[in-house]
Amino acid sequence: MGSSYFPIQNNYYDAYCRGLQLLNVQSETTDVNKTTIHVDNVNLYKVIDIPHAKPGTFQHFVYYGGPGELA
């Protein structure tokens, strides 16, 4: 995913998601502030979560990317 480069927090270059909402197994909205970032191999992939990037609930920006198996 992304451009095969690690994210630099610039939406012109990075893959990103915004305005995230998370659902639990009962399909109920969960508190995105209580989640953690998990990356299997930080040398191949990176995730940057910017909480409260905009005013309001669920206004997270998540930048992600990396060289993956090309590294």
Per-residue pLDDT of the chain (71 residues; tens, 9 = 90+): 556 788 887 777 888 887 777 888 899 988 777 777 777 888 888 888 877 666 665 577 788 888 877 65
Can you tell me the distance from the alpha carbon of 57 to that of 6, in angstroms, rounded to the nearest whole number?
27
CA angle, residues 43, 21, 60, in degrees to nearest 5: 55
* Structure tokens given for 53: 């990037």
pTM greater than the 0.85 cutoff: no
